[in-house]
Amino acid sequence: MIEFGQILIILIAFVWVVIASNQVAKFFQKIKFPLITGFLLSGILIGPYVLDLVPKDAIPKLNFINNLSLAFIAFAAGSELYLKEIRNSIKSIVWNTFGQIIITFLLVAFAVYFLEELIPFMKNMNVNSKIAVAILSGTIFIARSPSSVIAVINEMRAKGPFTKTAISVTVILDVLVIFLFTICLSIANTLIHGTSFDVKFIFLLIFELAVTLVLGFFVASLIQFILSINLNEFIKSILILAIGMIIYSITHFILVHSIEHYVIEIIIEPLLVCIIAGFWISNYGKYRMEFQKIIHEKGPIVYAAFFTLAGASLHIDILISNWIIAILLFIVYLVALVIGTFTGNTIARNPSIYKKIGWMPFITQAGVGFALVYEVAADFPDWGMQFATIIIAVIVLNQMIGPPLFKWAVKIAGESRLYAKSQLEPAKSALIFGLEHQSLGLVKELQKANYNVEMASVEKRKNIEHLNYVNIHFLDGLNMKCLNSINIKKFETVILMLSDGENYKICKLIKRYVGTKNIIVRLFDSIYGSKFYEMGVIVVDPSTAIARLIEQFVLSPISASLILGKENNKVMADMKVTDKHLHGIALRDIRLPDDVIILTVKRGGQILISHGYTRLRIGDIVTIVGSMSSIENLSLRFEE
């Protein structure tokens, strides 16, 4: 009971520290550092080597936070491998993965072997032992940090082929490194202890893989069952976190039980189980939308706790005492990444910019890397802790330098969407002809939808030029010279609210000299209706629009309220499909937020009655209704 009370006090204190860390991290964000770098630096600041607000003996008691966070992050990483969205990037993902595995493993292994004079515990080793240390080092440096990559992607609102390749390769490498490490660890035992390397090892590896897959599928089913129950979202989030914690307990029980009763080590990697579960739910689950929502909304809290604790746990003394070999290995690691990603991007025939910056997302290392290091330390107690000391020092460097470089790479690749925080499509513009109550009201509504709106008039009205929320152009006439004076070509939409004759004159000028524009005309006299229709403009006839609107209120009050914007926090928006990865994908396979519905798809001027099996094409205009925040996030999905 006393122990539980101590843990509770430490936990409450840590939560308070995380809140403070979040504020400190935002300061670092203002000076262009990623949030996770701010969390790490905050953790170091409050850790045992600086302010000692989190003492060294308290950190082991908070290890369950690390397990909870890693499980949650693994769920998120698995869910990012959505096959239908990455299918067009498979070639790039495969070649980048193999390029990094081969080059990183070989270069780091050779470097460790030939730098043995600088590594104290390797000086008196025989050749077999040196080879064992080298291949274990090479394997560990293949591990990546999905948590860091996902955190930067979320912070930058990054979207595009470069970003998708980065997260996919990162997750796949973390999966493959576990299998490769198991093999290399067995080889290292054979080289150092002279244990046999026989067919039993292969069967054990296959059995471990089978158990991992079964556990992953079981966890996915359990999470889907929780999501299907009518519970508060917060409670569902807590239960999902609890499942992650239970996975660690189950895998530890399997390891201990196998050693005690069967004299073998059955190692089930909990992170791999969670990745498989997240992958299964995202690709084949019925509740993937709700799962994605929980992952997205609760992610920032988890990242704050995880990286703050990681910063507090870092052994700064280790980095100081081993800085020479740590920097040398770090340089070798960077060279391996540059060569590996350059090779992969070259074979995949990716753009030249990817060959130059493709290595930047893959520097960071965290959870899996630390886990593998500690496993080596436990298996080889004679030199394992010295080995862990050096490798952790390099991981510390990777974790501090990696996120800022990835953030920079996202900007260079042009895939940052930070400018899009409150938009459906950036920099839309509209020009309204006519000064009156309705046109001024329309200006305010369009500005709410993030349009850049300007007005034009041939009539000067008293005090109208003093309106400070819209730029008004007063024209001397309706001719091409006057239209050019206001640079009419820059406006995507032109709305005509003058007399029918004036509207018709402007339409002819735009069609003849400016080219096709999105032109909307308010009609007064139906005599002009046929003339406007022949020009291909959109005509709004007030005489029939009011009757149609009243009819819509009678037949479907909710849809009419949506059209008029009377539903709180619900908007309608048209989005153009420009992301080639969505070409050919069915609507039912798009990961939509649970408060968003696709109403129609317009293709080639024709409106399709859309259903779940309607497949998108590049250039489609999709009409969507939902909350503003969800539609803003969804807009990133449709953009290239």
Q: What is the mean pLDDT of residues 100-118?
A: 88
pLDDT band at 220 (very low <50, low <70, confident <90, very high): very high
Confirm whether 545 is domain-assigned: no
- Same-domain check for residues 103 and 165: yes
The pLDDT of residue 469 is above 60: yes
Residue 576: give its domain's CATH number.
3.30.70.1450
- Same-domain check for residues 29 and 134: yes
Pick from 386, 416, 446: which residue ends a domain? Answer: 416
Q: Which two tokens stand for residue 205?
A: 């590896």
Confirm whether 307 is domain-assigned: yes
More confident residue, 529 or 37: 529
Q: Which of 60-74, 151-165, 309-323 has the lowest mean pLDDT?
A: 309-323
pLDDT band at 516 (very low <50, low <70, confident <90, very high): low
In this prediction, residue 425 carries a pLDDT of: 45
Measured CA to CA, the distance from residue 152 to residue 34 in angstroms comes to 7
- Structural domain that includes position 470: 429-540
pLDDT band at 119 (very low <50, low <70, confident <90, very high): confident
Of 395, 393, 386, 332, nearest in space to 122 by CA: 386
- Same-domain check for residues 396 and 348: yes
The number of domains in the chain is 3
Residue 477: give its domain's CATH number.
3.40.50.720
Confirm whether 422 is domain-assigned: no
More confident residue, 33 or 307: 307
- Same-domain check for residues 582 and 500: no
Range of 76-90, 219-233, 310-324, 579-593 with top mean pLDDT? 219-233
Q: What is the mean pLDDT of residues 114-126?
A: 82
- Same-domain check for residues 332 and 479: no
The pLDDT of residue 463 is above 60: no
Q: What is the pLDDT of residues 33-55, one digit of tens each?
A: 666 677 777 888 877 888 777 77
Please tell me whether residue 596 adopts helix, strand or coil conformation.
Answer: strand
Per-residue DSSP letter, 514: I
- Same-domain check for residues 141 and 111: yes
More confident residue, 36 or 380: 380
In this prediction, residue 152 carries a pLDDT of: 79
Of 407, 330, 425, nearest in space to 112 by CA: 330
Contacts of 3 (CB under 8 A, 6+ apart): none
Measured CA to CA, the distance from residue 374 to residue 395 in angstroms comes to 13
Confirm whether 618 is domain-assigned: yes
In this prediction, residue 553 carries a pLDDT of: 59
Pick from 501, 522, 540: which residue ends a domain? Answer: 540
The pLDDT of residue 172 is above 90: no
pLDDT band at 614 (very low <50, low <70, confident <90, very high): confident
What pairs with residue 496 in β-bridges?
A: 433, 521
Secondary structure string (H, E, C) spanning 179-219: HHHHHHHHHHHHHHHCCCCCHHHHHHHHHHHHHHHHHHHHH
Confirm whether 241 is domain-assigned: yes
- Same-domain check for residues 269 and 322: yes
- Same-domain check for residues 134 and 193: yes
Confirm whether 546 is domain-assigned: no
Q: Which of 217-221, 479-483, 547-551 has the lowest mean pLDDT?
A: 547-551
Q: Which of 69-73, 238-242, 582-586 has the lowest mean pLDDT?
A: 582-586
Pick from 524, 540, 556: which residue ends a domain? Answer: 540
**Would you say 388 and 373 are in contact if contact means Cβ atoms under 8 Å apart?**
yes
Q: What is the mean pLDDT of residues 619-640?
A: 71
In this prediction, residue 186 carries a pLDDT of: 73
Measured CA to CA, the distance from residue 555 to residue 572 in angstroms comes to 19
The pLDDT of residue 367 is above 70: no
Contacts of 562 (CB under 8 A, 6+ apart): 570, 572, 625
pLDDT band at 233 (very low <50, low <70, confident <90, very high): confident
Q: Which of 191-200, 323-332, 357-366 has the lowest mean pLDDT?
A: 191-200
Phi, psi (deg, nearest 5) at residue 222: -65, -45
Q: How far apart are the first and last CA of the chain?
A: 56
The pLDDT of residue 509 is above 80: yes
More confident residue, 196 or 141: 141
Q: What is the mean pLDDT of residues 374-399?
A: 77
Confirm whether 392 is domain-assigned: yes
Specify the pTM. Answer: 0.64
- Same-domain check for residues 396 and 444: no
Q: CB atoms < 10 A from the CB of 272, how many?
A: 24
The pLDDT of residue 218 is above 90: yes
- Same-domain check for residues 412 and 465: no
Type of residue numbered 150: I
More confident residue, 8 or 189: 189
- Same-domain check for residues 367 and 433: no
**Would you say 450 and 428 are in contact if contact means Cβ atoms under 8 Å apart?**
yes
The pLDDT of residue 289 is above 50: yes
What pairs with residue 608 in β-bridges?
A: 601
The pLDDT of residue 370 is above 60: yes
Residue 402: give its domain's CATH number.
1.20.1530.20
Q: What is the mean pLDDT of residues 260-277?
A: 81
Alpha helix stretches (DSSP H) within 364-468: 367-379, 384-412, 437-448
Confirm whether 547 is domain-assigned: no
- Same-domain check for residues 326 and 412: yes
